[in-house]
A and B are shown apart, each in its own frame.
Chain A
Amino acid sequence: MGTTKDILSPFLVWKQFFRKPVTIKEPLKRQGADRYRGFHINDIQECIGCGTCESICENQAIDLVAVAGIDTKSGDSGLRPKVDYGRCCWCALCVDVCTTGSLKLTNVFTWVDTDPDQFRYIPGVDAKPWDNATKGYKKAASLELYPLERIPMQHLHPEERHDSFIEIIKGFSKEEALREADRCVACGICTATCPAHMGIPEYIKAIREDNVEEGLRIMYETNPLPEICGRICTHKCETVCSVGHRGDPLSIRWLKRYLADQVPASAYASVLKSDSIEKNNRKVAIIGAGPAGLSAAYYLGMMGYQITVFEKLSAAGGMMRFGIPEYRLPYDQIDKDINYILSLGVEIKYGVSVGKDITLEQLEKEYDAVFAATGLHDGRSTRIPGTNHSGVYQSIELLRKITLGEPIEVAEKIVVIGGGNVAMDITRSLARMQRQKYGKVQLIATSLETEDIMPADREEVVEAREEGAIIYPGWGPREIIVENDRIKGLKVVQCLSVFDEQKRFSPKFDESNENFFEADMVVESIGQGANLSYIPASYFEQLEKDHRGRVLVDTLTFQTKLPWLFMGGDIIEGPDVIHGIANGHKAAKGIDQYLNANREEKQ
């Protein structure tokens, strides 16, 4: 039923026309509160494009996009976040999770534009009026969405380890591994830096899900020596870990070891499905049972090839067994990885030296392809006066003897020349043996490099000192002083710089600042060289070499200019275990390609 009011009401609203408007005209000129959550800013130099901001965004407001002028490189994807303000709800989780702390919100909250596409922009790249704003939301220091500190690794204390070769690192418990794995933001920045491009976030995810078998499978896709790498890998991945920007990087190496440790050797064949490989009748010879040779053997073996490895020494492993001391890498763990590779039907001929016991020509005739991965086993000498004395040793020879259990005349006072990891290995091994024999350590390790640029891993230097060795870097060896045919010690002068401005090796000394280290035994550990004398001159001439005479190979297949000969490992790239493994894997794929192409030609 209509009333007069109903009829008049449309006209009554007209009275509003004469009222003062409630709305206020722009500009409002009112600032947001100091911690107001307004538009994003991003420090584009700090940002590494890890994408954690995108992953956490519940509104899918962030895309990672390529930006002109920002290069993709190790540790930086080159991508940067682009925000869609049609979806952003200003919750600031992207700021809270940002691994580098580059992403922030300003307190600027007014922005008027008629084009909706303007409201998508790349903070820090697309210039905005608030780029220099200092106020706004920043992550509170007390708030962390993941722990910045590593789960500490249990290890033997110096007095528990300094007179024996038992393993120092105890490994993660399940509970510790789960907590450490939980710190991973799964960005995948590390994968590109790993020479083998291991699926690191994927196997860490397997740990989080407590699926160690899946973790083992993921590791074996790119690395058939996980027990070994889980202990002694140079872990370049950890140097670029996004979590490491504001905290400790993930303990990727120890997590890898945890996975491998969890699966017993007896379960490998069924977990990795190697119990049903289809064999072919093609044969590949591998020279050297080190990481590169074993890696190639594994991947070729999985493809069905018949593999024969020729190993000069009496056991497999190369530098992993004969270079790295037992306290870092126990022999039973090396055996676990190698025995599994042998279980695929790979044959190793021990004590066979190619070039002496069998020639490369013979291998060329009897096999379809040859992979040479002979490593760097010839110790380099400083060639200073006195080095030809019988009390002067090469570290690599001594380490080999220790592994083989051959006797070593350990002197009461020793000087080690060298500042790399091998120098630390022999220093710590000899310190243990001195303590066993004399009850005390009298050993000085000296290097050209000062402590800040010593090539050895920091922890090696620290632990060597804990075990009683004196590390005295920054000295250049001048002469081994010999009197009455007995070594008296090493004369050194201060080293001022090691490299010139072009970063070439060109040490400079202060000859007036001399020092003398008393010793009756000197060990040289300044690097190792390759011995390629097994390659006959007629073959060697045909190989491509760089200006320093190093053999060059195809970087994808590791094939040399002799199509049947592939080369890899420390003689080509590195030196370290993980490059060797990666080289072996690529060479295996290269050999497979080459032999398949060959067969098609013949058919």
Chain B
Amino acid sequence: MFDHVISELKNLFSAGEISGTEARLRFVTLPQNQAVKAVKYLNEKQGYRHLVLLTAVDYIEQGQFQLTYLLHNPENRTDIGVRVLIDRENATMESAHTLWPTIATYQRELREMFGIQFPGSPGVDDDFILEGWRGLPPYRRDFDTKAFAESFFPQREGRGTNDPAAFMKEKLYPNE
């Protein structure tokens, strides 16, 4: 089902790792300067007309973000995920809003939640849901959710907890 399109991607682009165990889904990794071109090619020449989503994963250990453009072909009902690894430092990716206007919304979300820049994407710097967020983008792995929850949301009155080991000492061997 994918043989033709995968071999074409390999011919035309420097397609890296191909993966995917589900019958109707494949992922292909491409270099940063080819990813949007490959997405455009799949959209215009291979029938992957529908953008399912654009999302990111923070691989902080490698100093990279992984973006995934998930595309759907309504004719043969298959999906291809185009993956691209970009530098985490000053993360910037080419905008794909000329292919689908709706992708601008995803790009706006990624700018707000991960701090990834998409220059030229309409309204990309507008607040998405966070409204006035100034700190580290919260989907970055080095964002300390617990510390934020502690400082931002006060505890309800009457709350209190116990450390299991200390509690067991107090109950079972308080004087040892």
Interface of A toward B, CB cutoff 8 Å = 49-51, 54, 58-60, 62-66, 72-74, 77-79, 84, 86-87, 116-117, 120, 187-189, 191-192, 197, 201, 556, 586
Contact = CB atoms under 8 A, between A and B. Distances in A.
Contacts of B167: 64, 66, 72, 77-79
Interface stretch (B54-62, B97-105, B147-155): B147-155
B145 A189 contact: no
B169 A192 contact: yes
Given A51-B164, A65-B160, A79-B164, 13 more contacts: A60-B155, A63-B159, A63-B162, A64-B162, A77-B165, A78-B167, A84-B156, A120-B156, A188-B166, A192-B165, A192-B172, A556-B175, A586-B176
Contacts of A86: 156
Contacts of B21: none
B146 interface: yes
Interface of B: 145-146, 149-150, 153, 155-156, 158-169, 171-173, 175-176
B165 A201 contact: yes
A58 B162 CA distance: 17
Contacts of B164: 49-51, 64, 77, 79, 187-189
B172 A63 contact: no
A58 B138 CA distance: 13
B156 A72 contact: no
B176 A197 contact: yes
A79 B162 CA distance: 8
A575 to B, nearest CB: 20
5 contacts: A59-B149, A79-B167, A86-B156, A191-B165, A192-B173
Contacts of A197: 169, 173, 176
A586 B176 CA distance: 7
B150 A60 contact: yes
Contacts of B172: 72-74, 192
A20 B26 CA distance: 48
B168 A72 contact: yes
Nearest to A116: B156
Contacts of B173: 192, 197
B58 to A, nearest CB: 15
A192 B155 contact: no
A54 B159 contact: no
A48 B162 CA distance: 14
Contacts of B169: 191-192, 197
Contacts of A87: 149, 153
A72 B146 CA distance: 29
A189 B176 contact: no
Given A64-B162, A72-B167, A72-B172, A58 B156 contact: no
